[in-house]
Amino acid sequence: MFEGVFPAIITPFKRNPAQDIDFDGLRENILFLLANGVHGIVPCGSTGESATLSFEEHEQVIEAAIDTVDGKVPVLAGTGSNNTAEAVRFTRAAKDLGADGALIISPYYNKPNRAGLVKHYTRLADLDIPIVMYNVPGRTGQNLQPDLITELAHHPGIVGVKEASGDISQISRIIEGTLDEDFAVISGDDGLTLPILALGGVGVISVAANVEPGRMVAMFSHFYEDEFEEALGIHYELSPLFRAMFIDTNPIPVKKAVELRGMAAGPVRLPLDELDDEKTLKLAEVLARYD
């Protein structure tokens, strides 16, 4: 279900004092992604600034994404939190709105013990909506160990993991440990997508696909058509963009890149701040390679 290129979409805001969500721009951005062949959409992830969205806004963004996609591709809604009860609320809402699955970041700040992590993910998986775990130690301060992911993969409601540990050996161990499961290992790092596909991963939840969805889809398609040299060529073509997406904290650079492309983006919300002039110039230089 969750295979291929899934852009982790930005949430565009208006440049007004309240920084209201630009829902027209959100829909236009999604239609652009669909026109470029993406295989799914991820609203309300880290790239969508979910941490600064109110409960109401969170649900409105997911609803707008589902309505715009209109069944053409799966919608994997970000519904995680470091508060299990809050994550349950978000996940139930996403299910009721018609999301195809929920992306659940491992609880940040709390640093739960192993038993707590198992209970957290099990509670959410019992809600009867497919759950994709999200391992991103750089944001949560805690790595989901391969044996824990393998254990949780036995739950029928947990269908995959977005792996953003940056540890290719760990990712290989997760794939090895879940070969007998109907379990998807998805890259959470654009630059590691091709190596992860080679190990047996099934796709990417991508920041760069907000900017270059067609090229990301082409890389994936070439790989699955056994055209590895072509896929590798696109990987290296896109590598400067992959790096540029992290010249500052995500999603600061990608929102600026989308804005420079003339699409809806707007500001980031505090405590993030906009890209400075020097980095904006560097980003513009990278984008010019793909014009």
DSSP-derived 3-state class of residue 12: coil
* Main-chain dihedrals φ then ψ at residue 160, nearest 5 degrees: 180, 180
Omega of the bond prior to 7 within 30 degrees of 0, cis?
no
Tokens linked to 103: 């992306």
* R_g (Cα) of the chain, nearest Å: 18
Q: Are 184 and 175 in contact (CB under 8 A)?
A: no
* Helices 84-97 and 114-125, packing angle to 10 deg: 20
Tokens linked to 92: 């139930």
d(CA 111, CA 28): 38
Catalytic residue among 134, 224, 256, 282: 134
Query: Is 109 assigned a catalytic role?
Result: no
Query: What angle is formed at CA 75 by the lines to CA 70 and CA 77, rounded to 5 degrees?
Result: 135
Catalytic residue among 95, 121, 162, 255: 162
- Residue 183 backbone zone (phi > 0: left; psi -120 to 50: alpha; other: beta): beta
Query: Is 134 assigned a catalytic role?
Result: yes
Residues involved in catalysis? 134, 162
